[in-house]
Amino acid sequence: MEAYKNWVRRNREYVNSLESLANGVTWLLPERFSQSEIGPEAVTAVLGVITAINEHIIDTTPRSQTPSAAVEPRCFPYPLCLSMIKELETLVEVAAQQYFGDDKKWNFIALTEATKVIVRFAWYRQSGYRMLLQGGETANIENSPSPSKSGNHHEPDHFLNMNGRTQWNTEGKALSALSRFRENARMVADPEWLRWVQHQHPIMEPPAPVVQRTTLSKLLNKRGVSGVLFVLGEALFITRPLIYVLLIRKYGVRSWVPWFLSLAVDFVGVGCLTPLSILRFGGREQQSNFTDAEEHELRRRKLLWALYLMRDPFFSTYTRGKLESTEKIMEPVPLVGILTAKLVELLVGAQTRYTYMSGS
């Protein structure tokens, strides 16, 4: 396994290009959106799992650290777990539809979404209640918030003490000075007795500080109302897909109730986070309360609202008619008409799969 990891890390560009080509070809497989054919989806799922594993290997490439660098404690690979679940969920949907029918497939989809909710909440807690990037598939490791208009930068809270200085105790300073003295002494002379002492009593380097995880109580005590809004926004984002599926099980996919309530949950969730993106100081200076990656994630979640145009009953009532009329208009145009027809076919076929339009 280590040999494979080293090969992937050395050839990451080649691996990424090959995976992109393979994933693109899977969209052209025959009977890709057939209700009775799970073969193409199985191929796509296997390629997706391999891609997720390779990306996890590349993302976890060991990096050199300085003695004073903070150490992230090892934990369960939640991003890899979420990526694998998302790659397999379409296969689960197609298999459930084939063997249990259109109505009962929602039981399996609900089970899949519930699994993702559990994993995401565990990852949210493990990460110190930081915003989940890409639904938790990307680790949120950026510490510094976006710079303010005045250009001030701030270190992460867990690296600062009450006076705002980097934590470093007296024992660590003494050990560091002793280590430097040892190195200077070795440049002058290195007698046998000193070698024996060094062998018997090795000088220890000061331990690297370990990142302290933020607990929910600390977050709420520190940020107050803004902390409550932040946790509420993330909780709604995590649970929204499960709520949507449970509503579909109760009212049916053609009902407007799941569509409107799911959209309302999205609006409220993003609405809780948006006011926190800008924090004012004295009515003049401004500093982003989120990192650049979190600001990008907030914009991404808003863009996902476009998927509501592809979900029933809105799709069958409005969007599908627009696509078909566009196809008829472009049909006489050479080459463009063929490409348009293929694009409409892919969109209509993808719309039949919940997992392609879920945005979860």
Determine the pLDDT at residue 130: 92
More confident call, 108 vs 28: 108
Strands (DSSP E) contained in the chain are 278-281, 285-288
The reply to whether omega before 313 is within 30° of 0 (cis) is yes
User: Does residue 164 sit in helix, strand or coil?
Assistant: coil
- pLDDT surpasses 80 at 182: no
User: Does residue 240 sit in helix, strand or coil?
Assistant: helix
- pLDDT surpasses 60 at 18: yes
Determine the pLDDT at residue 164: 39
CB atoms within 10 A of CB 178: 12
Determine the pLDDT at residue 158: 38
What digits encode the pLDDT tens for the residues 286-328?
Answer: 555 788 899 999 999 999 999 999 999 999 999 999 999 999 9
CB atoms within 10 A of CB 60: 14
Determine the pLDDT at residue 96: 93
Determine the pLDDT at residue 251: 95
User: Does residue 4 sit in helix, strand or coil?
Assistant: helix
Contact of 18 with 50, CB cutoff 8 Å = no
What 3 state SS string does 296-328 have? HHHHHHHHHHHHHHHCCCHHHHHHHHHHHHHHH
Q: What are the angstrom distances between the C-alpha of 137 and each of 53, 110, 125, 264, 305? A: 12, 20, 15, 24, 19
90: Cβ contacts below 8 Å, ≥ 6 apart: 41, 44, 45, 353, 355, 356
- pLDDT > 90: what percent of the chain? 41
Contact of 156 with 147, CB cutoff 8 Å = no
pLDDT band at 281 (very low <50, low <70, confident <90, very high): very low
Percent helix, strand and coil across the chain, each to the nearest 5? 65, 5, 30
Determine the pLDDT at residue 153: 42
pLDDT band at 191 (very low <50, low <70, confident <90, very high): low
What is the residue-averaged pLDDT of the chain? 78
Determine the pLDDT at residue 306: 95
- CA geometry: angle at 43 spanning 248 and 92, to 5°? 25
What digits encode the pLDDT tens for the residues 73-95?
Answer: 567 899 999 999 998 998 999 99
Contact of 116 with 85, CB cutoff 8 Å = yes
- pLDDT surpasses 60 at 221: yes
The region of weakest confidence among 67-71, 138-142, 310-314 is 67-71
What digits encode the pLDDT tens for the residues 222-243?
Answer: 888 888 999 999 999 999 999 9
Mean pLDDT value across residues 248-266: 96
Smallest Cα–Cα separation from 167: which of 156, 175, 177? 156
Task: Kindly report the pTM of this predicted structure.
Answer: 0.75
